[in-house]
Amino acid sequence: MVDLRGQYLKIKDEVDAAMQAVVDGTSFIGGKAVADFAEHLSRYVGGCPAVTCANGTDALQIALMALGLKPGDEVIVPAFTYVASAEVIGLLGLTPVMVDVDPRTFNVTVDNISRALTDKTKAIIPVHLFGQSCDMEPILRFADEHQLYVIEDNAQAIGAEYTFADGHKAKTGTMGTVGCTSFFPSKNLGCFGDGGAMFAHDETLCERLRMIANHGQRVKYHHDIIGCNSRLDALQAAVLDVKLRHLDDYCSARRQAAHYYTERFKAFDPEEACLLTPVELPQSTHVYHQYTLQVLDGRRDALKAWLAERGIPSMVYYPLPLQEQEAFKKIARAAEPLTVSKRLAGSVLSLPMHTELTREMQDRVIDAVIEFFKHGR
């Protein structure tokens, strides 16, 4: 599915030197490597201040903590996402209110969100799933009208860009109240362990995020608020600082690979085969964290097995929508029937997608998929 080793080997000298510099300096927590990376990351997303933390799940949790939400407050979250997007809501004693997603983009829309609004709604967590921005302009307008916080879950879409109706562009993660991202190794910008970051334009909010990630202190041993211990370590920052310089190239490699998949599937007439390829919104660049097909004839698992028999990996993200997860049954509320999320869980299949894919590898995958629809069981 991914080729982290191949990606590393191409930048080995740069990465090794950066890691060795941290080891030589022995500043393993905090210090210059982390500060430098945060500054470069902020510059990369167009100047929105960045606060680093230990992982993407913590980023979401710290964002909710910083906004001062109280038990009983409702937070709207899509049912079709990775568990972390909703887990943090439950962890803080808030109520996850689940909404459905658009069947073609896999993302929540303002229509889904508007059906979930109550007088307890305090925040929305739009997830830029699989690397494509949600249609943010209407979501932001809705949030503004109803005074809701917007916490973007940007774990899968760092580098993606959204274009507003007036033509101005913004990087995903910088449009809401707080943007959260993850540097888990297989994410589009991944380190060699766990890592995460938050983005916020508001300086006071940034300061709160920074304090909460560091035991609620601004001055060492003076704890003003309850926080946690969530730090990006210096070795990870050093790796990320190198990889950030390559992120735009990584995004275009992913986009090119995705376009090649789609082009070849189109030539084969996927609709007749009940196969849907991913769509791109005109107002968003898709950075293809995943390249996700929908198999509409009920044979998704058979296709997955067929590929596996031929040595081709594929993955189901995600096999269970959140409303069917045991952990959420007691604490969450569904704002609408969630039929799309349920259907997607049974029909999605993600193909190998990474920065080191060659045409030959893709041809093997594509030929095997086409072969399945022509001759498979």
Ligand X SMILES: *Cc1c(COP(=O)(O)O)cnc(C)c1O
Helices 234-244, 247-267: inter-axial angle, 10-degree rounding: 60
List Cα–Cα distances, 57 to 88, 154, 197, 331, in angstroms: 7, 11, 10, 19
CA pair distance 80, 134, nearest whole angstrom: 13
Q: At its nearest, how many Å lie between ligand X and the CB of residue 264?
A: 27
**Which residue number, 123 or 370, has a Cβ lying nearer to ligand X?**
123
Strand, helix or coil for residue 76: strand
**Which residue number, 86 or 275, has a Cβ lying nearer to ligand X?**
86
- Taking CB atoms, the residue at the shortest distance from ligand X is 56
Nearest by Cα to 262 from 362, 193, 117:
362
**Which residue number, 96 or 270, has a Cβ lying nearer to ligand X?**
96
**Which residue number, 14 or 324, has a Cβ lying nearer to ligand X?**
324
Q: At its nearest, how many Å lie between ligand X and the CB of residue 55?
A: 4
Q: At its nearest, how many Å lie between ligand X and the CB of residue 255?
A: 19
Q: At its nearest, how many Å lie between ligand X and the CB of residue 29?
A: 18
Strand, helix or coil for residue 128: coil
Q: For residue 150, what are the β-bridge partners?
A: 124
For residues 224 and 83, the answer to whether their CB atoms sit within 8 Å is no
For residues 353 and 327, the answer to whether their CB atoms sit within 8 Å is no
CA pair distance 374, 366, nearest whole angstrom: 12
For residues 104 and 148, the answer to whether their CB atoms sit within 8 Å is no
Alpha-carbon dihedral sign for residues 276, 282, 283, 285: positive
Q: At its nearest, how many Å lie between ligand X and the CB of residue 325?
A: 14
Residue 62 has phi, psi (to 5 degrees) of -65, -35
For residues 33 and 195, the answer to whether their CB atoms sit within 8 Å is no
Q: At its nearest, how many Å lie between ligand X and the CB of residue 57?
A: 3
**Which residue number, 129 or 275, has a Cβ lying nearer to ligand X?**
129
Q: In sequence order, what E strands does 220-271 have?
A: 222-223
**Which residue number, 195 or 227, has a Cβ lying nearer to ligand X?**
195
For residues 290 and 324, the answer to whether their CB atoms sit within 8 Å is no
- Give the chain's largest Cα–Cα span: 68
CA pair distance 236, 198, nearest whole angstrom: 16
Q: At its nearest, how many Å lie between ligand X and the CB of residue 167?
A: 28
**Which residue number, 189 or 205, has a Cβ lying nearer to ligand X?**
189
Residues that bind ligand X (CB under 6 A): 55-57, 81-82, 84-85, 127, 153, 155-156, 182, 184, 194, 196
Q: For residue 219, what are the β-bridge partners?
A: 222
Q: At its nearest, how many Å lie between ligand X and the CB of residue 98?
A: 15
Nearest by Cα to 101 from 283, 376, 377, 344:
344
Q: At its nearest, how many Å lie between ligand X and the CB of residue 2?
A: 13
List Cα–Cα distances, 118 to 73, 235, 281, in angstroms: 10, 45, 29
**Which residue number, 86 or 238, has a Cβ lying nearer to ligand X?**
86
Q: Which residue has the tokens 């986009």?
A: 255
**Which residue number, 85 or 214, has a Cβ lying nearer to ligand X?**
85
**Which residue number, 138 or 185, has a Cβ lying nearer to ligand X?**
185
CA pair distance 241, 34, nearest whole angstrom: 9
Q: At its nearest, how many Å lie between ligand X and the CB of residue 199?
A: 15
